[in-house]
Amino acid sequence: MTAPYERISIEQVARYPRPGMGGPARWSFTPDGSGIAYLASEDGGLVRSLWLYDLATGERRALA
C-alpha cells in the first residue's frame, strides 16, 4: 500500500529554493588565500549576497 499524496500549491513550491540552492554557492579563495568568498542567503531565500569568510578568525561578513 502506498501513502496518499498531499497536494501543494504553486505558491508553496515557489516559496522554497530548488534542491541544492539553499546553501552557499560559488566558493572562491581570495587571491592571498586568507579567506573564502561565496554567495549565500541570510534567510534561506532565493536572493543571495556576496560574503567573505576569514579563515584565520572564523568571522564572516557581507560584502554586497
Confidence band, pLDDT 50/70/90 cuts, at residue 3: low
With H, G, I as helix, E, B as strand and everything else as coil, classify residue 48. Answer: coil
Residue 15's φ and ψ, nearest 5 degrees, are: -70, -25
pLDDT for residue 19: 63
CA distance 9 to 16: 12
pTM recorded for the entire structure: 0.64
Burial of 60 from C-beta contacts in 10 A (0-12 / 13-18 / 19+): middle
pLDDT for residue 31: 96
With H, G, I as helix, E, B as strand and everything else as coil, classify residue 28. Answer: strand
The amino acid at 23: G
Unique residue bearing C-alpha cell 561565496: 38
- The pLDDT tens digits of the residues spanning 5-59 come to 777 777 776 666 666 566 788 899 999 999 999 998 887 777 889 999 999 999 9
